Chains A and B, each alone.
Chain A
């Protein structure tokens, strides 16, 4: 007999691959205490709703985690730049592969592309990719996306423009099919095997932006990145990161076993849904919808980028960063 949380664990992996989140329907889908909590919530009176709304508005300017994340992202990329520019040899290379004070670090998706295309694995490639694998297993899979990837930051700014245009009713916000990313992942893996070229690397905005920052090279390739951003501003919110990027899926798979994640606590939540509005991957936050949480505490699934926007926006502290196994110590 699988517990509701185990069911959700499996379901969230499928959700990452593009499935719509499963809506818990019968009593067996919930734990006892979750059922009780939902029951109690039905009995709360609605008079304090005005106070709740005020709390939400007051929280709008809370950007603690976003600021920390932007600082980390900018510092990490700047470290690459200054390492080369001033020849201080701390972090040499680019995001696809680098050396941190001599230790090889190799991006998992790039390593995969090279292995599939070249069909040969060198020791350094294995060491570098292995180190990154362990590192990102510890610090949370897709946290690579929101805390390191330079394209993510550009896309985040483009997203703000997009949302402003949506508010002015100048563009519509139509999400696209989330299964596309899984298809892309498979297609690019196959293309690497069949053609013998690292096809994905030639269009990867992560690599292109990273190299442009560090070496000032590939400025023509930045036109492609710009085209992606324009598409995101005028057509689909965060199209690349949400619906296309195979790197995101690779790190998402790593994130399945990672102990660092955002945890949802049912008790204090008012189900206002602000967190879902700011989220890059709102399908992982289906659990915050009223009556959906299968337990009183629900860890957020592997597609979550641990960006912390939901943690910032939540006025009740129902969404918090959490390390599995350490929560008892805090």
Chain B
């Protein structure tokens, strides 16, 4: 309180000295704690153990984390609540948005990639500023044609780079490859994921459990893919020479994750590799 009185008076009482020591110690404790906590943000970044799938239009990871202001406005506009905000384990990504496609993929049911529109800092952007490089293969060859809007005058999504690429990571479990069909709720009665089915309601996404399937040969990933020409069922030759049907991912894939969400086997046979580029 009245420490200013003591300035420049060398013979300090024992109590004063103790107070001064305590003051220095507590200053150091707070500085150390705050800086330690701040720099601990580096741990997950340095070890980068998990590549998060970012919302559409996200800048490359480093630029994304630099520019994201962590306000969650992208979370607020998403009609299927696909976007989540990360926690402390994501280091400098705490509060930054990501998509867990298996739990809730982005099905573009907002029709216009509204999360990009909501972003105030250009972390999610329709047009990447010139000084930021585009990784080879990240750029889409053409604007993606959005199947629900394919008969509209403007059938494309305003998206120039992909979020990732779908990959059949567990072909052994894929029902199509086994020649099996699928009947029932794609992800069971407990699953809370939503999707917009054009045939059911043009404007409102519904829970996937309310839309059961009955298919002779499983093609859910192809059937529900919202991007034209991104995935198809093709005849492929197995190593032993037999011919099977398999989902095959093509260049237009934007990495939205609908195939990963809808895949009825557990764990999913097809997955999004986040921030992956197209390699022909």
Contact = CB atoms under 8 A, between A and B. Distances in A.
Given A97-B73, A114-B67, A184-B34, A221 B94 contact: yes
B141 interface: no
B29 interface: yes
Contacts of B122: 120, 122, 124-125
B26 interface: yes
A94 B94 contact: no
A174 B19 contact: yes
A197 B91 CA distance: 10
A175 B73 contact: no
Nearest to B122: A122
B87 A92 contact: no
Given A207-B95, A231-B30, A215 B87 contact: no
A26 interface: no
A98 interface: yes
Given A120-B131, A180-B30, A197 B66 contact: yes
Given A106-B120, A208-B94, A114 B69 contact: yes
A202 interface: yes
A128 to B, nearest CB: 6
Interface string A8-49: 000000000000110100000000000000000000000000
B120 A125 contact: yes
Contacts of A270: none
A215 B85 contact: yes
Contacts of B23: 174-177
Q: How large is the interface on B (under 10, 10 to 19, 20 to 34, 35 or more residues)?
A: 35 or more
Interface string B60-85: 00110111111111011000000011
Interface string B88-122: 11011011000000000000000000000010111
Q: How large is the interface on A (under 10, 10 to 19, 20 to 34, 35 or more residues)?
A: 35 or more
A229 interface: no
A197 B65 contact: yes
A117 B31 CA distance: 22
Contacts of A83: 76
A174 B22 contact: yes
A97 B272 CA distance: 30
B76 A236 contact: no
A106 B119 CA distance: 12
| Interface hub of A176, A183, A202, A235 (most chain B Cβ within 10 A) | A202
B168 interface: no
A44 B43 CA distance: 65
20 contacts: A20-B3, A83-B76, A96-B69, A96-B70, A97-B73, A98-B73, A99-B120, A120-B67, A124-B122, A125-B121, A176-B30, A180-B31, A198-B92, A202-B91, A203-B41, A208-B94, A215-B72, A218-B95, A220-B88, A220-B89
B222 to A, nearest CB: 33
A128 B120 contact: yes
Interface string B211-245: 00000000000000000000000000000000000
| Interface hub of B23, B67, B118 (most chain A Cβ within 10 A) | B67
Interface string A101-120: 00010110011001001101
* Residues of B contacting A: mostly: helix
Given A104-B120, A191-B38, A198 B71 contact: no
A62 interface: no
A200 B73 contact: no
Contacts of A87: 76
A74 to B, nearest CB: 20
Given A99-B120, A180-B27, A243-B27, 7 more contacts: A98-B73, A125-B122, A172-B22, A176-B23, A177-B27, A197-B45, A220-B88
A199 interface: yes
Given A176-B26, A198-B92, A236-B26, A217 B85 contact: yes
A219 B76 contact: no
A235 B121 CA distance: 38
Interface string A164-187: 000000001011110010011001
B103 to A, nearest CB: 14
Contacts of B92: 197-199, 201-202
B76 A92 contact: yes
| Interface hub of B3, B88, B94, B122 (most chain A Cβ within 10 A) | B94
A175 B118 CA distance: 43
Contact of B69 (A106, A183, A218): A106
Contact of A220 (B37, B71, B84, B87): B87
